[in-house]
Structure 1
Amino acid sequence: MPNISQAIKQAHLALAKRDFAVAHQQAMTVLQQDPHCADGYFVMAQIAYEHGNVRKAEEVVARALKFSPSHIDCQLFRFQCWLELNQREQLLAGLIALEIDRFQNAHQFDCLGVIYSRLGMHEDALPLFEKACGLKPLDASYQYNLASCYQFSGQFELADQAYEQALVIDPAHYRSHSSLSQLKRQTQQSNHIDRLLEQWAQLNENSVDAYLHLGHALAKEYEDLEEYDLAFQYLTEGKQRKSKSTDYLPEHDRKNIETIKKLMPRLDERASASELSVVTPIFIVGMPRTGTTLVERILSSHDEVISAGELANFSMLVKQLAKTSSQWVLDEETLAKSIDLDFQSLGDAYLKSTQRFLHGKNYFIDKMPLNYMYVPLILKALPQAKIVCVQRNPMDTCLSNYRQLFSTQYSYYNYAYNLSDTGEYFVGFNQLLSEYRQRYGSRLHFLSYENVVSDIESESQRLLEYCDLPWQSQCLQFHDNQAPVATASSVQVREKLYTRGLNRWRVYEEHLGDLKSIFNDNHIQW
């Protein structure tokens, strides 16, 4: 019989190599010898998680904690599962009860920092990342997490230093390369292009994510130098390599949109929830990279408004209450079943789940762009809600989505690996917003990014009037807003309003023929 501690060690080595068969075998060997061994269940939970079965992983790690309630790694792993399952109340209660003074290594501090960061609690995350780097300064991933937290908090010089430190430790750390390129505008005198090209030349066919990140980094830096053909060349190569390894099915998005269209007339026959709460959620929706963060910063600069960031709460509650079995939160089956939801329960559950963000204020912002798919349900469940739909020039919208490096963990943006797929996605989005405009009219506020940039004061006044908020001139000083920003616009929104994003597509026009054809075929003015 192998030694239990040795078998656990072998199981963790196998997990690190993603050899799940060996990890499973070693864990089973342990549990056969000791059915109460928490470490054995912990390995099994990690295997379930890596296979996408987060609920099963949570159940198994709960069993581990039954036998070893103070097992720090199991506690942190359970928090991670709760985060994925949107079980925020359990997570927050667990965080309060967690005994951080029992932490033994850098990994535990870093893991907790990631959890706080994903909750949008960057001020709580920062000292944890600093502690992790202090305990293990030669770990590039810890330096990267610290740098990202500095960036989200607007501490760009410290972010620059930490990203550079990550690259000293690991020159091939591609996430640091791509993030560093975004921190500031590059110049002929100061850029990272030679270093990026050196890393690019060392990649092999299996380096799909590295190609994606370095392609984005080179595209950003060449664009800053106005070398647009080279920018588009590297961006497209990185995107194409990732696209080939990604199972994106455009028909899934089309079916979702068609389901919502069919749902709307049926929803009109259902009663809305009662307006019992004084709390008013403000949903800012639209495609990413269209100015949603700018609008959020304008609104959250108001004394009566606080931003909760990009929340998955509403979509997760729809999924939970619809009780569909698919692994997707947003899919045709869940949307179809939403017609039978108890909208009072949905609205109440959403307000309860967001209570912790209020800090004594009655207006809060939920800036999840994909909530545009849920507009009809939001209006039923939260009749007091304000919904701001942000739109941008179609060419700039699609190009900006294509130029954006979305999280590879978030499959709902997989359309952005291919420019034509992005164009087709926009067509569906545009059709849905047209339906909303016709059906819901003034219940929604439609906002043009170009109009905001051209006349921010008038557009901000109309925006506040729609939200039933008194005018405050400080909303025009959104760049002075010190709240953390964890979106793709974390750098831009700390600058004064700029116009360089307007008609950006024109410098890439010769590469956008397919996009023009898609828009022309669907009668979309660009």
Structure 2
Amino acid sequence: MAVVLPRKGSIAMNEPVELYAQAIAALNRGEWQKAQSLAMALLKQAPHHAGVHYVAGAAALQLGQMPLAAELSRRAVSLNPKRADYAAQLARVLAVGRFIREAVEIADKAMALAPEDPLTLDTLGVVYTQANEHGKAIKVFERAAALMPDRASYRFNLATSLTFSGRIDEAEREHRSCLQLDPKYWKAYLALSQLRRQTESSNHVSWFESVLPSAEHHADALMYLHLALAKEYEDLGRYETAFEHLTKGKSANRANRGYSTEHDEVLFKALAGTPVAPLASGSQSREPIFVIGMPRSGTTLVERILSSHPQVHSAGELQNFGVMLKRATVSRTPQMLDLDTVARAKDIDWRRLGDAYVASTRPGTGHTPHFVDKLPHNFLYAGFIASALPNAKIICLRRNPMDTCLSNFRQLFAQTSPYYDYSFDLMDTGRYYLLFEQLMAHWKQVIPGRILEIDYESIVEDQEGSTRRLLDFCGLPWDDACLRFHDNQAPVATASAVQVRAPMYRSALQRWKRYESQLSELRDLLEKAGTAI
């Protein structure tokens, strides 16, 4: 995060300007600890200097010291409420901490100050993206890119928001501009490949292959390029070559993830040992509809079907429930969900947690009777959700196990999320799937009738029948718009952002058979565990 020196006249003390400049320079170089030490030392001399609070808060954010980052950033804004960049940083801190409502409010105030600094605008765009306010994000990213047209990252951020909003042609243009500005902006290669189905007459294979030599010895570069080529070759029907690139892409970064199946086994066992509270203990809200399941199992499709109903709003993939649970347990461990959090969850106020979760989804929700929270990994929290929100609906997507595992291995999920580390290895993915199956079997036993399980294949084969089943479970009247989910104009900030804008298709069914020989070990693992293929 680059930081610029405050504007002339903004320094209202006789501080050592050189030391202040050193703190900012350290921050710009990514030397977070040094920047923080310098800024905190300066605060002892000038406790009322907004700029020093701003720099110290920025360093604390990068160091993951969220309470301190929030305290310092709030102080900077209170001391100088006219600085849009100070407000933008506070909004960013709040968004990272999942205080989304306040983050949007602060971001709106920052925008009201008419910022013309592209860095500030880009920061605000990221905040709006995290809040699923993609319309606002596009406008802010467009302004940032216009002010600094040679900055590749601004082009990439704009392209991402355009993709989420279904503006694919514009997104493609911005990704190409990004790569023209910086051919080593590696993630843009994968994003570009995913915008369309590639054909023999229109693809990027030669281009991407020509770039591969420059990616040698760079794990991230190899990962993005090989995964982009895997996508392109699969589209072209060259499955053996596609799988080779897929394996190379995932293995390039596997070692950096430090994943352990054994760690997940312990966590899943602890989750299964958590008792579910009586129904009367939770919130009385009927708003939430949770769509859960393994990623890439059809969760976005179901979310689009449901949110096409006039009584249902799509809230996207919210981290809110996990954040609210963590806060309620007062757990101080760095992981969102771990053994400490699970152990502490036995003593929390379930009604307060449920109400806090619903409140945390505002202002995006509340204008319709229901909203969909479709974070797939909320399957981990199903027991807690049942305790905190006894009137919430929970829908679990199931998909052919081989297709599910392959799709998870094919996908590059959010790099900053702890949920997806299993997906860098095919067999780790298979073992994770078996843990998922065991946990879902447990939830079905301890909260019978609370979870509707529906197969992705059933939705594809019988769209209307499956849609009626979904609406009946949610207590919603029939609406023909749910059959036209592809006309839904709401943004989609998931890996399925492009696919769900097309009518129902069958090409994803039995995809694993294209790679049958490469998946033999995975099949053996699943079948030995008693999983029907």
How high is the TM-score relative to the length of structure 1?
A: 0.94
2:415 corresponding residue in structure 1: 408
Provide the C-alpha distance between the structure 2 equivalents of 1:388 and 1:307, rounded to a whole number of angstroms.
Answer: 14
1:510 alignment partner AA: S
Gaps of 5+ in 1: none
Instruction: Output aligned runs, 1:8-157, within 5 Å.
Output: 8-24=20-36, 26-27=38-39, 30-31=42-43, 34-157=46-169
Instruction: Output aligned runs, 1:495-514, within 5 Å.
Output: 495-514=502-521
Provide the C-alpha distance between the structure 2 equivalents of 1:36 and 1:274, rounded to a whole number of angstroms.
Answer: 45
2:272 corresponding residue in structure 1: 261
Moved more, 123-132 or 71-80: 71-80
Do the aligned residues in 2 keep the contact of 1:273 with 1:347 (CA within 8 Å)?
no
How many residues align structurally?
Answer: 520
* Residue 522 of structure 1, CA deviation: 1.7
1:176 and 2:183 correspond: no
1:236 and 2:247 correspond: yes
Do the aligned residues in 1 keep the contact of 2:159 with 2:171 (CA within 8 Å)?
yes
2:9 corresponding residue in structure 1: none
1:487 corresponding residue in structure 2: 494
Do the aligned residues in 2 keep the contact of 1:148 with 1:159 (CA within 8 Å)?
yes
Provide the C-alpha distance between the structure 2 equivalents of 1:443 and 1:35, rounded to a whole number of angstroms.
Answer: 54
1:319 corresponding residue in structure 2: 326
1:246 corresponding residue in structure 2: 257
Do the aligned residues in 2 keep the contact of 1:285 with 1:368 (CA within 8 Å)?
yes
Provide the C-alpha distance between the structure 2 equivalents of 1:159 and 1:5, rounded to a whole number of angstroms.
Answer: 43
* Residue 289 of structure 1, CA deviation: 0.5
Task: Choose which of 171, 176, 191 in structure 2 pairs with 1:159.
Answer: 171
Secondary structure of 1:388's match?
strand
Secondary structure of 2:170's match?
helix
More helix by share: 1
Secondary structure of 2:313's match?
strand
Provide the C-alpha distance between the structure 1 equivalents of 2:437 and 2:64, rounded to a whole number of angstroms.
Answer: 32
Instruction: Output aligned runs, 1:195-234, within 5 Å.
Output: 195-205=207-217, 207-234=218-245
1:419 corresponding residue in structure 2: 426
2:527 alignment partner AA: N
1:189 corresponding residue in structure 2: 201
Secondary structure of 1:523's match?
coil
Moved segments of 4+, more than 6 Å:
none
1:198 alignment partner AA: S
1:369 and 2:380 correspond: no
Provide the C-alpha distance between the structure 2 equivalents of 1:345 and 1:359, rounded to a whole number of angstroms.
Answer: 18
* Residue 435 of structure 1, CA deviation: 1.5
* Residue 5 of structure 1, CA deviation: 3.9
1:209 alignment partner AA: D
Do the aligned residues in 2 keep the contact of 1:307 with 1:366 (CA within 8 Å)?
yes
Secondary structure of 1:110's match?
helix
* Residue 275 of structure 1, CA deviation: 6.2
Provide the C-alpha distance between the structure 2 equivalents of 1:284 and 1:186, rounded to a whole number of angstroms.
Answer: 30
Provide the C-alpha distance between the structure 1 equivalents of 2:109 and 2:76, rounded to a whole number of angstroms.
Answer: 18
Do the aligned residues in 1 keep the contact of 2:101 with 2:363 (CA within 8 Å)?
no
2:351 alignment partner AA: Q
Q: Deviations over 1:386-415 (max 9, x none)?
A: 100001111111111111111111122111
Task: Quickly say closer, same or farther: Cα 1:96–1:130, change in 2 above 3 A.
Answer: closer
Task: Quickly say closer, same or farther: Cα 1:191–1:9, change in 2 above 3 A.
Answer: farther
Provide the C-alpha distance between the structure 2 equivalents of 1:457 and 1:471, rounded to a whole number of angstroms.
Answer: 10
* Residue 355 of structure 1, CA deviation: 4.1
Task: Quickly say closer, same or farther: Cα 1:512–1:74, change in 2 above 3 A.
Answer: same
2:131 alignment partner AA: L
Do the aligned residues in 1 keep the contact of 2:282 with 2:350 (CA within 8 Å)?
no
Provide the C-alpha distance between the structure 1 equivalents of 2:25 and 2:226, rounded to a whole number of angstroms.
Answer: 32
Secondary structure of 2:507's match?
coil
Provide the C-alpha distance between the structure 1 equivalents of 2:55 and 2:363, rounded to a whole number of angstroms.
Answer: 33
Provide the C-alpha distance between the structure 2 equivalents of 1:428 and 1:446, rounded to a whole number of angstroms.
Answer: 17
Do the aligned residues in 1 keep the contact of 2:430 with 2:526 (CA within 8 Å)?
yes
Task: Choose which of 247, 257, 272 in structure 1 pairs with 2:280.
Answer: 272
Provide the C-alpha distance between the structure 1 equivalents of 2:29 and 2:244, rounded to a whole number of angstroms.
Answer: 34
1:441 corresponding residue in structure 2: 448
Q: Deviations over 1:448-495 (max 9, x none)?
A: 001111111111111111111111222111101111111000000001
Do the aligned residues in 1 keep the contact of 2:276 with 2:386 (CA within 8 Å)?
no
Secondary structure of 2:517's match?
helix
1:273 alignment partner AA: S
2:6 corresponding residue in structure 1: none
Do the aligned residues in 1 keep the contact of 2:292 with 2:379 (CA within 8 Å)?
yes
Q: Deviations over 1:305-342 (max 9, x none)?
A: 11111111111111101111101111121122212111
Do the aligned residues in 2 keep the contact of 1:83 with 1:115 (CA within 8 Å)?
yes
Do the aligned residues in 1 keep the contact of 2:234 with 2:242 (CA within 8 Å)?
yes
Secondary structure of 2:448's match?
helix
Do the aligned residues in 1 keep the contact of 2:99 with 2:360 (CA within 8 Å)?
no
Do the aligned residues in 2 keep the contact of 1:311 with 1:368 (CA within 8 Å)?
yes
2:398 corresponding residue in structure 1: 391
* Residue 175 of structure 1, CA deviation: 1.6
Do the aligned residues in 1 keep the contact of 2:292 with 2:396 (CA within 8 Å)?
yes
Q: Deviations over 1:267-312 (max 9, x none)?
A: 25x45336644x4311000111100000011111112111111111
Secondary structure of 1:190's match?
coil
Task: Choose which of 478, 481, 488 in structure 2 pairs with 1:474.
Answer: 481
* Residue 48 of structure 1, CA deviation: 2.4
* Residue 228 of structure 1, CA deviation: 1.3
Secondary structure of 1:248's match?
coil
CA RMSD, aligned part only? 2.0
Task: Quickly say closer, same or farther: Cα 1:169–1:478, change in 2 above 3 A.
Answer: same
Provide the C-alpha distance between the structure 1 equivalents of 2:518 and 2:279, rounded to a whole number of angstroms.
Answer: 49
Provide the C-alpha distance between the structure 1 equivalents of 2:164 and 2:283, rounded to a whole number of angstroms.
Answer: 35
Q: Deviations over 1:132-175 (max 9, x none)?
A: 11111111111111111111111111111111111111122112
Do the aligned residues in 2 keep the contact of 1:30 with 1:37 (CA within 8 Å)?
no
Do the aligned residues in 1 keep the contact of 2:53 with 2:75 (CA within 8 Å)?
yes
Do the aligned residues in 1 keep the contact of 2:283 with 2:350 (CA within 8 Å)?
no
